[in-house]
Structure 1
Amino acid sequence: MTYLNPISIFWMFILTAFILHKLRKKKTSKIVFIITITCLFLSTVTPLPVWLIHNLEQHYPVYKPSGNERLPVLVLGNYHADDTSLYPSQKLSAQSLQRVTEGVRIYKLQSSCPITFSGFAVNDKISTGKVGSEAAVSLGVSPKDTIILPAPRNTYEEALVYKKRFGTKNKFILVTSATHMPRAMAVFEKLGMKPIAAPTGFLIKEGTKESVYNWWPSSMKLFYTEAAMYEYSAQLYYKWFK
């Protein structure tokens, strides 16, 4: 996500404006500077970042089981740290932990079911799928119900590996972050599978005293901007090239 970091882009534009100014292209420099400040304003002050994230997160509702379904669960990976001093749940990134705990919640609602954890190995050590599985077991999942897909490095590879192993006939519950869910569902469905969305890790949560759509400057809005830029650009990439 680094290449879409708004702070990095901001400083690149500021540097460009400075170089243009030194080259005596003052009018162009001024235009670049104004564009930079406008983008920074939109990214940190306006409600736009909140709207962009909320728009992604509202595609699918929170998963609630219907009837006596006992469907397999697939928990998509994110990242983890290879810190041997930490327990599995503590090694996981915030997004990975949210996905694992949602998978465990669904597992317990269904009175156990096959639950698959995907994710590649960081630095060629233990895979995120393996760490996610260990964290789930520590939260009450039976080891015999866990399946690990340690090879996939991105959403498209996760879909390909899952399809190769389990086919396309049966429905399954797909667990991932709410912002990532629209892209994940599109990828799995395009490959002929039948996922049921179970989003988690919602960034925008209603119900507080103040409206989430406010005009207060916030570093969190900058984070929302970065997350939204990544997801929308990734959606376009998958649409055009996958």
Structure 2
Amino acid sequence: MSIVNPLTFFWLFIAVSLLLYKFNRKKTAKYIAILGAAQLFLFSVTPLPVFMIQQLEKQYPVYKGSKNEKLPIHILGNGHADDPSLYPTQKLSFQALERVTEGIRIYNYFNHTRISFSGFAVNKKEPTGNVMAKAAVSLGVSSKDTILFPAPRNTWEEAVAYKKRFGTKNKFILVTNATHMPRAMEVFRSMGMQPIAAPTGFFLKKETGYRYNWWPSTAKIIYTEAAAYEYAAQLYYKWFKL
């Protein structure tokens, strides 16, 4: 997601500014440099990044469910490292690990149910879905309850694979990060499926007291990167997929 990181744009603006300055376009160079500084200020100091994240994360509440409705669980992938010295839980990206732990929470709440994992092999070694399943099993999930989708490379393909395997008649719990949940729900629903959102990995937590403020923060840069990626992906899906 570095392409939508404010720091990436800042240094891009600075590089263009220096290049223009070298070719004696000093006035234009100054404006480009100011623009780069302005966007960095906007996305690392102002309350805007918090607002952007909040608009995504507030769309779906934490899943609480009902034990009278025991549903299957599907967890979307998010990458891992193929480091042979690490256990499966340690190989996962922090987003993937958040998704696995939330899936296990619901799995235990239901006193076991079908739990599936998706995610492809980025480096053509082991698929992320497999690593997520191994991590879940190491944390108490029964291997007989797990199902793998090792081929899907993105949210759209994950939805296609799930529909092909299970159809559209039955409800299921969809687990992914809170910022990603609005797009994931839209994609799965567009194919006629009946997902129930179980968001996790919230950036904004009320107990931290982190709300709107004007303090410079690297966290705001992270918020901007995550939110901008999702908004851009939503537009892409609406224009070319949905």
Report the TM range for the smaller structure's normalisation. over 0.9
Work out the CA distance in 1 between the residues paired with 2:210 and 2:193. Answer: 38
1:26, distance to aligned residue in structure 2 (A): 2.5
Work out the CA distance in 2 between the residues paired with 1:201 and 1:157. Answer: 22
| Aligned residues of 2:204 and 2:210 also touching (Cα < 8 A) | no
1:67, distance to aligned residue in structure 2 (A): 4.6
TM-score, reference length from structure 2: 0.96
Work out the CA distance in 2 between the residues paired with 1:128 and 1:18. Answer: 42
Q: Deviations over 1:162-189 (max 9, x none)?
A: 0111101111000000000001001101
1:99, distance to aligned residue in structure 2 (A): 0.1
Aligned residue for 1:108, secondary structure, equals helix
Output aligned runs, 1:1-242, within 5 Å.
1-208=1-208, 210-242=209-241
**Which segment drifts farther, 17-26 or 194-203?**
17-26
Work out the CA distance in 2 between the residues paired with 1:36 and 1:9. Answer: 7
| Aligned residues of 2:72 and 2:114 also touching (Cα < 8 A) | yes
| Aligned residues of 1:99 and 1:176 also touching (Cα < 8 A) | yes
Q: Deviations over 1:25-78 (max 9, x none)?
A: 233222212211110101111111111111111100000112511111000000
Where does structure 2 lack aligned partners over 5 or more consecutive residues? none
Work out the CA distance in 2 between the residues paired with 1:73 and 1:118. Answer: 11
Where does structure 1 lack aligned partners over 5 or more consecutive residues? none
**Which segment drifts farther, 67-76 or 151-160?**
67-76
Q: Which amino acid aligns with 1:62?
A: V
Work out the CA distance in 2 between the residues paired with 1:144 and 1:186. Answer: 30
1:2, distance to aligned residue in structure 2 (A): 2.7
1:22, distance to aligned residue in structure 2 (A): 2.4
Aligned residue for 1:174, secondary structure, equals strand
| Aligned residues of 1:82 and 1:122 also touching (Cα < 8 A) | no
Aligned residue for 1:122, secondary structure, equals coil
Aligned residue for 2:172, secondary structure, equals strand
| Aligned residues of 1:61 and 1:199 also touching (Cα < 8 A) | yes
Q: Which amino acid aligns with 2:124?
A: D
| Aligned residues of 2:67 and 2:109 also touching (Cα < 8 A) | no
1:212, distance to aligned residue in structure 2 (A): 2.1
Aligned residue for 2:148, secondary structure, equals strand
| Aligned residues of 1:119 and 1:128 also touching (Cα < 8 A) | yes
Q: Deviations over 1:121-150 (max 9, x none)?
A: 131111111111111111111111000000
1:97, distance to aligned residue in structure 2 (A): 0.3
Q: Which amino acid aligns with 1:236?
A: L
Q: Which amino acid aligns with 2:211?
A: V
Q: Which amino acid aligns with 1:56?
A: L
1:84, distance to aligned residue in structure 2 (A): 1.0
Q: Which amino acid aligns with 1:120?
A: F
Q: Which amino acid aligns with 1:50?
A: V
Identical pairs, percent: 64
Aligned residue for 2:3, secondary structure, equals helix
Q: Which amino acid aligns with 1:35?
A: L
Q: CA RMSD in A?
A: 1.1
67 and 104 in structure 1: CA distance in 2 versus 1, 3 angstrom threshold: closer
Aligned residue for 2:207, secondary structure, equals coil
